[in-house]
Chain A
């Protein structure tokens, strides 16, 4: 057997400062990417609302932006959104984010309900399942209308790895590049990308699109979140788990594994989501970055 060396000392020495045991969860944590009810293709261990909320409580997640799995395939989105609203009314940590499908007739009615009577802060779009591209004029119209109504827009890039989808129902990953044009044309638009496992090319695209924010749910690699922060800026990364489809602990553990400082962890897990939800204007840091 070979002798121990300096490298072995590295492997057994105490954790480096970036993963100090003193690092604790922020007192408020916002998960911007959760879905309620049943995934259409199998039952999930946490697909009942009470069990899911108990898990969030255990993990220290204090606010959850919840969409609905039903929105993938249902066309009667009003009742989908009403069920979502009712489920969230019983739990103060759940913030409903309704679904709109702009390929359906009179989609503006759903949008108005969500951002008006239902009091939702934003809407979640599923272009891969609903059959349109972000370059389509109707997406621009939706984004502009949502912005005028004061709502943000979450764009789901994928719900699952294309390699594991049902043979009968396959949804392509959504191409985000057309957002460049819309975010320039609609200066107050607030858009968050969900469920992207970003390639180097995706990171360059995201960095080039003004004000675009991205969730962490499928940002993989041991330093994946740090790489995302470096590419697009700390103020544009929002914590998201894509639970219960993905295991809630996965995104949570990744926040300390990635080696980013505690202050930035809080920014990602709390402050950025608060700012995104509450403000129609880009943060001062982002304005400065865009001006560089």
Chain B
């Protein structure tokens, strides 16, 4: 072990698939790609050190998920810009699209263009920004149903914050569990396990089609041990939140956890590959 990292062979053996890669998450750059590419390059040291096999990022596709009208117009009229990262790193990157829950029509069209007929594997429901809405909002329901028809994966941003929500558009794991219980055949990824994971894990425990994602908060000790105990390792997927979080913070949660090596493999890649397999095979 060097600097806390397992040997290279062990890291390769984990077959790490990152479900939550966030380069230029809020805005890809005024030309549609510059900041996004720059942030992916910025993450390469960590990606190489960790021997990540795949990383999934969440693309803006010109349907109003940023606060920049010029960018939205650019991405809407030049969809080839959206594909640039996937073209540059075809064997490394996977993509999902950010949906605008305030614009159902545009989101449904984007689902057809990017998930049904395009390379994207699922969707991201944001917790903030112009595209956000609470996951129980009726506007979200139609989108959930369409994603489900297409066999895509839903990554829902969640947090349970001390003192309560900062915005009514935020979603909690409790609300996601309520939504997910209505669609038992659809996989929902509970991003950040609610942040305050002791409650987040409990909230989704009885909803087996919800898997928790591990990134987006400090490397608080005991998280993965509790999650594995309460949910089982098959219901946890690794996320890096690179580059705004670090590989140290996010990978350490899994590799240093007091669980078996097989359970680590489940979390670091096996589970994510399994839920993506149906969608990927249709591409």
Contact = CB atoms under 8 A, between A and B. Distances in A.
Interface of A: 1-8, 10-12, 15-16, 18-19, 23-25, 42-46, 58-59, 160-167, 170, 197, 218, 220-224, 243-259
Given A222-B42, A222-B43, A253 B217 contact: no
A47 B90 CA distance: 44
Nearest to A16: B45
A247 B219 contact: yes
B252 A247 contact: yes
Contacts of A243: 221
B4 A249 contact: yes
Given A58-B1, A253-B4, A19 B49 contact: yes
B245 A220 contact: yes
B251 to A, nearest CB: 7
B77 interface: no
B224 to A, nearest CB: 9
A254 B246 contact: yes
10 contacts: A2-B83, A7-B88, A45-B258, A161-B195, A162-B162, A163-B196, A220-B244, A221-B245, A245-B221, A250-B253
B195 A24 contact: no
A8 B46 contact: no
B243 interface: yes
A249 B50 CA distance: 13
A254 B218 contact: no
Given A221-B244, A224-B246, A250 B219 contact: yes
B77 to A, nearest CB: 21
Nearest to B197: A164
Interface of B: 1-5, 41-49, 83, 86-92, 159, 161-163, 195-196, 198, 217-222, 225, 242-249, 251-253, 255-258
A247 B89 CA distance: 32
B49 A15 contact: yes
B89 A45 contact: no
B48 A15 contact: yes
A164 B162 contact: yes
Given A243-B221, A252-B4, 18 more contacts: A2-B90, A3-B87, A3-B90, A4-B90, A4-B91, A5-B90, A8-B92, A163-B196, A167-B163, A170-B163, A220-B244, A220-B245, A220-B249, A222-B242, A222-B245, A224-B246, A248-B4, A252-B248
A247 B253 contact: yes
A163 B159 contact: yes
A156 to B, nearest CB: 14
A44 B3 contact: no
Contacts of A12: 91-92
B48 to A, nearest CB: 5
Closest 4 A-B residue pairs measured CB to CB? A7-B88, A254-B248, A249-B4, A253-B248
Given A221-B246, A222-B242, A253 B43 contact: no
Nearest to B37: A7
B49 A257 contact: yes
B45 A222 contact: yes
B276 to A, nearest CB: 15
Contacts of B255: 249
B222 A42 contact: yes
A286 to B, nearest CB: 26
Nearest to B159: A163
Given A18-B45, A45-B222, A163 B243 contact: no
Given A164-B195, A247-B253, A257 B218 contact: no
A253 B247 contact: yes
Given A251-B248, A254-B249, A170 B162 contact: yes
B196 A257 contact: no
B97 to A, nearest CB: 17
B162 A166 contact: yes
A39 to B, nearest CB: 9
A162 B159 CA distance: 13
Contacts of A10: 41, 44
Contacts of A18: 45
